[in-house]
Amino acid sequence: MDRNQWSRYRAGPTRKFRRRAVLKNGDCNVLQSRISRRSLRFLQDIFTTLVDTQWRWTLLCFILSFLLSWLGFAMIWWLIAFTHGDFEEHHLPPFQIENNWTPCVYNIFSFTSCFLFSIETQHTIGYGSRSTTEECPEAIFIMCIQSIAGVMIQAFMVGIVFAKMTRPKQRTQTLLFSRNAVIYQRDGELCLMFRVGDMRKSHIIGASVRAQIIRSRTTKEGEILSQHQQELVVGTDGENGDLFFIWPTTIIHRINESSPFFDMSAEDMLTERFEVVLILEGTIESTGQTTQARSSYLPQEILWGHRFDPMVSYSKERQGYEVDYSLFNSTTQVDTPLCSGKDLAEFYKAQDDLRHGTE
């Protein structure tokens, strides 16, 4: 077949079907609805809810948790002083010595003073002008309660902000997946290939990759499974998914008898409806946390008869291997049979039988 005819099997506007479960950036395209007691369930796991929510809501909760606690305890301090009579004119701080009056808290004039004392107590600022006395046991009790509550609020909110800033999801922004997948012949077999890369100098330890195909399937009983998931055998050599991930790597799925693509030709690929989800997992070297990056490929994003261009070369000047990321998505068209993997295997088998028969 003429090389110009290969282009009809390249990704393009042939099909408008764009439904996908996993977006190209790795986000799951799943919208949940009609969940009973949804708000209550999220509030029961408030820590995870605040970590997962947007930054503006997390920061709003951060600010409100302190403001409301300061105001709440300020009202309690005001009530203690009010019931003790500390706000009566002859019991105010300028007249306490001459009237021999001992207040619950020194130097309390109004609610503003109570608010400032609440902040000083909760955060152990201790300016020295305001302090509790032995006159009111309830004041001593509230001081202990607020000190404990302040430590708990700080620990909780700092933990949320820290978890949000260091969560592994941010690491996935520097893990790259090729824009397209390719299919071409290698070692006598058609192979579906993807390219993955890592922009950072700190590596992903114990990196592994796996892939799944999501498509509709009808069982023997006639049941239609619209989101059936099937595992694909992938790896750098097509055998396992463990990676030595020091530079961009090509992930291979061999289209053989165990592959769901075994009966698909280049033309069939354009009419099939499926989604290949590629999942990269490993441990972040700098933090020790586990991370997962995802991407997906629809049939129109699979280039039949293409291969990835080499992007790793040795630089004598820099005395090291150089990775050119401008070639990360670059492919080259190569001669590739348009038949299915099954037809290709039968063709090679017939050739072997014919060769052995003539011998």
Buried b / exposed e over 33-53, threshold 16 CB at 10 Å, is: eeeeeeeeeeeeeeeebbbee
For domain 171-357, the CATH architecture is: Sandwich (2.60)
- What is the DSSP secondary structure assignment for residue 241, as one 8-state letter? -
| Alpha-carbon distance values, 337 to 10, 166, 207, 297, 334 (Å) | 14, 48, 33, 21, 10
Which has the minimum average pLDDT: 243-257, 262-276, 342-356? 342-356
Q: What is the DSSP string of 321-355?
A: EEE-GGGTT-EEE-----S-HHHHHHHHHHHHHHH
* Closest by Cα among 258, 268, 194 to 230: 258
Each residue's pLDDT tens digit, 174-221:
899 999 999 999 988 999 999 999 988 888 888 999 999 999 888 888
Three-state DSSP string of 188-235? CEEEEEEEEEECCCCCEEEEEEEEEEEEEEECCCCCEEEEEEEEECCE
Each residue's pLDDT tens digit, 107-124:
899 999 999 999 999 988
Cross-strand bridge partners of residue 278 = 211, 295
Mean pLDDT along residues 317-341: 92
How much is the pLDDT for 7?
43
Could you tell me the residue ranges of all domains in the chain?
Answer: 55-166, 171-357
Mean pLDDT along residues 238-255: 83
Mean pLDDT along residues 248-260: 92
Mean pLDDT along residues 300-311: 94
7 vs 19, higher pLDDT: 19
Q: How far apart are CA 234 and CA 277, in angstroms?
A: 12
pLDDT at 4 over 60: no
Is residue 247 within 8 A of residue 323, CB to CB? The reply is yes
How much is the pLDDT for 231?
92
90 vs 304, higher pLDDT: 304
Buried b / exposed e over 202-221, threshold 16 CB at 10 Å, is: ebbeebbbbbbbbbeeeeee
Q: How far apart are CA 348 and CA 64, in angstroms?
A: 71
Q: How far apart are CA 26 and CA 52, in angstroms?
A: 16
pLDDT at 318 over 60: yes
How much is the pLDDT for 359?
56
How much is the pLDDT for 270?
85
| Alpha-carbon distance values, 282 to 198, 253, 295 (Å) | 12, 20, 15
Residue 51 is encoded by which pair of tokens? 């970590």
How much is the pLDDT for 113?
92
Each residue's pLDDT tens digit, 27-74:
888 888 888 877 788 778 888 888 888 889 999 999 999 999 999 999
Judge residue 246's burial from the number of C-beta atoms within 10 Å of its C-beta, 0-12 exposed, 13-18 middle, 19 or more buried. middle
35 φ/ψ angles, rounded to the nearest 5 degrees: -95, 125
Mean pLDDT along residues 226-243: 81
Q: How far apart are CA 265 and CA 330, in angstroms?
A: 23
How much is the pLDDT for 11?
44
Considering the domain 55-166 in this protein, what is its CATH number?
A: 1.10.287.70
How much is the pLDDT for 240?
67
How much is the pLDDT for 140?
93
Residue type, 298: L
Which has the minimum average pLDDT: 3-12, 63-72, 270-279, 312-321? 3-12
Residue 42 is encoded by which pair of tokens? 């999220």
Each residue's pLDDT tens digit, 142-173:
999 999 999 999 999 999 988 888 777 777 88
How much is the pLDDT for 169?
72
Q: How far apart are CA 83 and CA 75, in angstroms?
A: 12
Mean pLDDT along residues 86-109: 87
Judge residue 181's burial from the number of C-beta atoms within 10 Å of its C-beta, 0-12 exposed, 13-18 middle, 19 or more buried. buried
3 state SS of 59? helix
